[in-house]
């Protein structure tokens, strides 16, 4: 563990990949990827794009033991498990592919990333309903704050649910990856900080959400989270809410107004986005919010019917764009490199494939 | 920095329901796998250490409209026990009367400061396997495969962080470490942490396909080992900040989570990196953080040693962990797979020489995403009772696995226990638990 924990993390690379039209040969290369399950390919491709934007020395500036990764997923393995189970029950385990057999384990979908990029600090997988991708950002950043690494690759990946599976109609498929590093490190490399992302997750018990006080309880938890993230109530806050129609989702939606949030100034009506059967869309919305003008605070809020909830406070731009942020750079350094727009495009996951379309 | 104490324990395992049954089973040291009762388990070695049928919770079938699989029900059962053992009680829901419990009824437990960090490798996949083979889902509602922490959080009414960690067989070690970090960072006072794993046809079939199932039993470090054998169950620990535990007068403190070390091999999807460089780094980091220096303070002569018969190993009273204040025992990852056991043995021999090992997997099999939590539970029981139970006999020990595996129980005077958990993808974690008083 480093004695000098990484603090003041900024995003320096964003990669998004949608399933529509995805071809691993063009995204990753012709050799070595053919037999990887789709969600693993998506995440590798998203990470490749994010690293391309962050620059070739984004990871290499530190040793392998100072690099960590965290991925969130809910449904990456379901279709594969379904196909495997059909094989086992029809003809037996001997007919399973030995190449894909290890992927019964959900963490394998993110593990190739560690091998490819020599990430020896940690490689975490989170699977909490809908918030797993934001949790990857949250837990990954906490791990850096405690000195377990100094660079972070984090994001989410999903694959469409098999036809007939409950929730298949709102399947997600694709991946988003972000590169995070300490702001001074980005500055010294001459790379622009795309922004900061701070996540707080919490839990709204479904019973509480369904009660008459549901919205009130949701608002209290949201206020706590925004306070913990350092959001000043007088700073106008744009809100994107990735929610379903469950009692938890409705309670959270009802909590998203200025009065319920204790007088916080909202920048317009919160945008409500239908949640899919996975953890991808909230992270895609975070990636999109990083493209807003510098300093425009944006909250991406999400929740699952099971009670898991999270808010990500996105502040685009460098340290100078963060009121109350580190004194850091007062302007974009000379020689700042910007990757082509195509390196981190396509967000949010508007082109996601739905299982019913397959 | 505030200590992270263990103030409650809960277990549902192949040894039965409850922590007492687990501790008794550790001393009885007489278990074995059985054939899974699944007519569709078309595989050569459909073996597992199963939770006894009489102890399998008969519900709930659903919670707040979410259908529950075996994994969620296991997690709930262990969490209920751990929470009660800690003297806590679930928060009252809207319009509900608080359950009997001195703390809930007396107030003071802020549900926003209670977090849940549970792990699983397969979650409620058994539920989905049922749907894929003819059983119809009760509704069209999306049923995420990994809702275990959510289900426990919903039952308890916990409003803090609620996370499911799925780092395969190291997952529950990470869940416990993440839980400790939540306390140390000030995000939670109490964390319901651990892991649960239940029979999944897909998982067992894939391990069969990989040729990694032993035909007889789980035999870590044995010369005739041929792979591992899965087990199922749930182990849950209540982690609590020392200041919070003191303030409420926690009645029992089983130990403290004193150190953690994380690493990743970044080497291969399924095989450990042969030099063990990264698992050594995780062990060293955990021991350093705990202040339990590797190789110090044990002085035990308890090793059965290379090539010895497990049945003729160290007998009771040989002084496991006799060096008070040092590392008293190790609960290894030791799965019974060929390379893992050799690499881990070599490093333990170098890093913690002569420190006795206790193999939980030889007792209940490899519980996957719950394995680290079961090892942590066992470590806390050993520290609490100051006794290292006998290892389950696994036959002749592999000369390449020259680690002490005492066959008799022994007094445990060391102040610390080391827990290792490793996983597919090269995920490694080591935890150090230390003695602590209420």
Query: Does A89 sit within 8 Å of B133, measured CB to CB?
Result: yes
* Token pair belonging to A273: 């986005």
Mutate to test the interface with A, among B147, B198, B209 (most CBs of A within 10 A): B209
Chain A residues close to B203, C-beta within 8 Å? 104-105
**What's the mean per-residue pLDDT of chain A?**
89
Q: What pLDDT does A4 receive?
A: 58
Query: Does A78 sit within 8 Å of B42, measured CB to CB?
Result: no
> Does residue B308 carry a pLDDT above 70?
no
Nearest CB to B166; choose among A107, A117, A167: A107
Q: For B139, name the nearest residue in chain A, comparing CA atoms only.
A: A166
Binning pLDDT at 50, 70 and 90, where does residue A64 land? Answer: very high
Q: What pLDDT does B95 receive?
A: 59
Torsion angle of C-alpha atoms A63, A66, A67, A69, degrees rounded to 10: 160
Query: In this predicted model, what pLDDT tens digit does every residue of B371-391 receive, in sequence order?
Result: 999 999 999 999 999 999 999
Binning pLDDT at 50, 70 and 90, where does residue B122 land? Answer: very high
Q: In this structure, what DSSP letter does residue A33 have? A: -
Q: CA triplet B401, B402, B407: central angle to 5 degrees?
A: 100
Query: In this predicted model, what pLDDT tens digit does every residue of B395-429 receive, in sequence order?
Result: 999 999 999 999 999 998 899 999 999 999 999 99
Q: What pLDDT does B314 receive?
A: 34
- How many angstroms separate the CA of residue B152 from the nearest CA in chain A? 10
Q: What pLDDT does B294 receive?
A: 58
Nearest CB to A128; choose among B139, B150, B265: B150
Nearest CB to B205; choose among A93, A126, A203: A93
Q: For B157, name the nearest residue in chain A, comparing CA atoms only.
A: A205
Q: What pLDDT does B325 receive?
A: 62
Query: Does B112 sit within 8 Å of A93, measured CB to CB?
Result: no
What value does the mean pLDDT take over residues A327-331?
33
> Does residue A229 carry a pLDDT above 60?
yes
Q: What pLDDT does A344 receive?
A: 34
Binning pLDDT at 50, 70 and 90, where does residue B302 land? Answer: very low
Q: What pLDDT does A320 receive?
A: 59
Q: Give residue A118's region: left, alpha or beta (phi > 0; psi -120 to 50).
A: left
Q: What pLDDT does B303 receive?
A: 37
Cα–Cα dist B108/A203, whole Å: 19
Chain A residues close to B94, C-beta within 8 Å? 207-208, 211-213
Least confident residue range of A41-45, A91-95, A341-345, B267-271: A341-345
Binning pLDDT at 50, 70 and 90, where does residue A332 land? Answer: very low
Chain B residues close to A167, C-beta within 8 Å? 140-143
Please, which residues bridge with residue B213 across strands?
B228
Cα–Cα dist B294/B283, whole Å: 9
Q: For B151, name the nearest residue in chain A, comparing CA atoms only.
A: A306
> Does residue A97 carry a pLDDT above 50?
yes
- A293 or B105, which is more confident? A293
* Token pair belonging to B438: 């209420």
Query: Does A82 sit within 8 Å of B209, measured CB to CB?
Result: no
What value does the mean pLDDT take over residues A210-227?
97
> Does residue B317 carry a pLDDT above 70?
no
Q: What pLDDT does A7 receive?
A: 65
Q: What pLDDT does B322 receive?
A: 39
Query: In this predicted model, what pLDDT tens digit does every residue of B171-210 receive, in sequence order?
Result: 999 999 999 999 999 999 999 999 999 999 999 999 999 9
Backbone angles phi, psi at A67, to 5 degrees: -115, 130
- Collapsing DSSP to helix, strand or coil, A237 comes out as strand
- How many angstroms separate the CA of residue A305 from the nearest CA in chain B? 9
**What's the mean per-residue pLDDT of chain B?**
90
Prediction ipTM score: 0.93
Query: In this predicted model, what pLDDT tens digit does every residue of A138-166 receive, in sequence order?
Result: 999 999 999 999 999 999 999 999 999 99
What value does the mean pLDDT take over residues A58-83?
98
Query: Does A115 sit within 8 Å of B263, measured CB to CB?
Result: no
What value does the mean pLDDT take over residues A259-271?
94
> Does residue B121 carry a pLDDT above 60?
yes
Nearest CB to A102; choose among B205, B261, B270: B270
Mark out the alpha helices in A190-336 (DSSP H runs).
206-210, 214-228, 247-255, 280-289
Q: What pLDDT does B193 receive?
A: 98
Q: For B137, name the nearest residue in chain A, comparing CA atoms only.
A: A166
Query: In this predicted model, what pLDDT tens digit does every residue of B44-92 receive, in sequence order?
Result: 999 999 999 999 999 899 999 999 999 999 999 999 999 999 999 887 6
Mutate to test the interface with B, among A68, A71, A95, A125 (most CBs of B within 10 A): A125
Cα–Cα dist B176/B187, whole Å: 15
Query: Does B264 sit within 8 Å of A114, measured CB to CB?
Result: yes
Chain A residues close to B278, C-beta within 8 Å? 120
Chain B residues close to A110, C-beta within 8 Å? 425
- How many angstroms separate the CA of residue A336 from the nearest CA in chain B? 31
- How many angstroms separate the CA of residue A339 from the nearest CA in chain B? 28
Chain A residues close to B426, C-beta within 8 Å? 111, 114-115, 123
String of b and e for A155-190 (b: at least 16 CB within 10 Å)? bbbbbbbbeebbbbbbbbbbbbbbbbbbbbbbbebe
Query: Does A306 sit within 8 Å of B94, measured CB to CB?
Result: no
Least confident residue range of A83-87, A116-120, B104-108: B104-108
Q: What pLDDT does A33 receive?
A: 96
Q: For A229, name the nearest residue in chain B, comparing CA atoms only.
A: B187
Residues B240/B180, Cβ–Cβ less than 8 Å: no
Least confident residue range of A86-90, B135-139, B340-344: B135-139
What value does the mean pLDDT take over residues B94-101?
51
Cβ–Cβ pairs < 8 A, chains A and B: 268
- How many angstroms separate the CA of residue A204 from the nearest CA in chain B? 6
Binning pLDDT at 50, 70 and 90, where does residue B295 land? Answer: low
């Amino acid at each position: 563990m480093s004695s000098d924990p990484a603090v003041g993390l900024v995003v320096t690379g964003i990669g998004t990949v949608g399933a529509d039209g995805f071809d691993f040969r063009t995204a990753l290369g012709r050799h070595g990827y053919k037999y990887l399950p789709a969600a693993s390919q998506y995440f590798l491709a998203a990470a490749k794009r994010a690293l391309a934007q962050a620059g070739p020395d984004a990871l290499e500036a530190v040793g392998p033991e100072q690099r960590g990764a965290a991925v969130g997923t809910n449904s990456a393995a379901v279709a594969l498990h379904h196909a495997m189970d059909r094989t086992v029950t029809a003809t037996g385990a001997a007919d399973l592919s030995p190449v894909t057999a290890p992927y019964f384990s959900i963490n394998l979908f993110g593990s190739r990333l560690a091998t490819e990029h020599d990430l020896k600090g940690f490689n975490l997988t989170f699977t909490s309903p809908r918030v797993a991708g934001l949790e990857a950002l949250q837990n990954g950043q906490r791990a850096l704050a405690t000195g377990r690494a100094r660079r972070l690759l984090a994001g989410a990946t999903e694959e469409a649910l098999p036809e007939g599976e409950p929730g298949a109609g709102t399947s997600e498929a694709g991946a988003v990856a972000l590169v995070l590093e300490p702001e001074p490190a980005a500055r010294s490399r001459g790379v622009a900080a795309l922004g900061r992302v701070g996540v707080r997750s919490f839990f709204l018990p479904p019973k509480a959400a369904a009660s008459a006080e549901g919205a009130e309880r949701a608002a209290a938890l949201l206020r706590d989270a925004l306070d913990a993230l350092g959001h000043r109530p007088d700073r106008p806050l744009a809100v994107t809410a990735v929610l379903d129609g469950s009692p938890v989702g409705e309670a959270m939606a009802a909590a998203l107004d200025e009065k319920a949030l204790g007088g916080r100034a909202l920048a317009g009506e919160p945008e409500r986005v239908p949640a899919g059967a996975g953890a991808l869309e909230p992270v895609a919305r975070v990636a999109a919010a990083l493209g807003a003008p510098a300093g425009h605070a944006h909250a991406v809020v999400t929740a699952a019917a099971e009670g898991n909830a999270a808010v990500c406070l996105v502040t685009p731009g460098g340290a100078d764009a963060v009121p109350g942020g580190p004194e850091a750079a007062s302007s974009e350094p000379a020689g700042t490199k910007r990757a082509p727009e195509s390196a981190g495009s396509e967000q949010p996951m508007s082109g996601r494939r739905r299982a019913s379309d397959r | 920095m505030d200590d992270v104490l263990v103030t409650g324990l809960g277990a549902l395992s192949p040894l039965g329901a409850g922590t007492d049954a687990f501790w008794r089973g550790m001393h009885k040291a007489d278990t074995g796998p059985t054939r899974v009762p699944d007519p569709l388990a078309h595989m050569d070695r459909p073996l597992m250490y199963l939770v006894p049928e009489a102890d399998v919770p008969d519900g709930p079938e659903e919670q707040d409209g979410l259908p529950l699989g075996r994994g969620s029900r296991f997690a709930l059962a262990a969490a209920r026990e751990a929470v009660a053992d800690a003297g806590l009680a679930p928060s009252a829901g809207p319009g509900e009367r608080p359950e009997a419990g001195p703390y809930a009824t007396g107030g003071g437990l802020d549900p926003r400061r209670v977090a849940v960090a549970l792990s699983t490798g397969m979650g409620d996949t058994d539920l989905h396997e049922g749907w894929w083979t003819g059983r119809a889902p009760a509704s069209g509602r999306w049923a995420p495969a990994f809702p275990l922490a959510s289900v426990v959080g919903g039952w308890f009414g916990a409003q803090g962080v609620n996370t499911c960690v799925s780092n395969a067989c190291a997952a529950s070690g990470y869940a416990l470490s993440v839980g400790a970090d939540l306390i140390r960072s000030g995000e939670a006072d109490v964390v319901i942490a651990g892991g649960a794993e239940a029979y999944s046809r897909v998982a067992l079939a894939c391990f069969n396909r990989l040729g990694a199932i032993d035909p007889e039993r789980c035999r870590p470090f044995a010369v005739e080992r041929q792979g591992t054998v899965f087990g199922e169950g749930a182990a849950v620990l209540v982690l609590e900040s020392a200041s919070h535990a003191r303030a409420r007068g926690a009645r029992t403190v089983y130990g403290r989570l004193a150190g953690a070390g994380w690493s990743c091999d970044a080497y291969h999807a399924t095989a450990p990196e042969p030099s063990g460089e990264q698992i050594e780094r995780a062990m060293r980091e955990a021991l350093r953080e705990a202040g339990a220096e590797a190789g110090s303070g044990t002085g035990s002569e308890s090793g059965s040693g290379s090539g010895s018969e497990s049945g003729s190993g160290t007998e009771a009273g040989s002084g496991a962990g006799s060096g008070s204040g040092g590392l008293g025992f190790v609960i290894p990852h030791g799965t019974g797979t060929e390379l893992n056991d050799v690499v881990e043995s070599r490093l333990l021999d170098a890093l913690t020489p002569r420190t006795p090992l206790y193999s939980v997997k030889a007792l209940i099999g490899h519980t996957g995403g719950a394995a680290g939590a079961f090892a942590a539970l066992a470590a806390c029981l050993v520290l609490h009772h100051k006794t290292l139970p006998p290892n389950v006999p696994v036959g002749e020990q592999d000369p390449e696995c020259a680690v002490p595996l005492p066959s008799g129980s022994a007094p445990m005077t060391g102040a610390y226990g080391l827990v290792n958990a490793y996983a597919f993808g090269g995920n490694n974690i080591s935890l150090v638990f230390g003695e602590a008083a209420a």
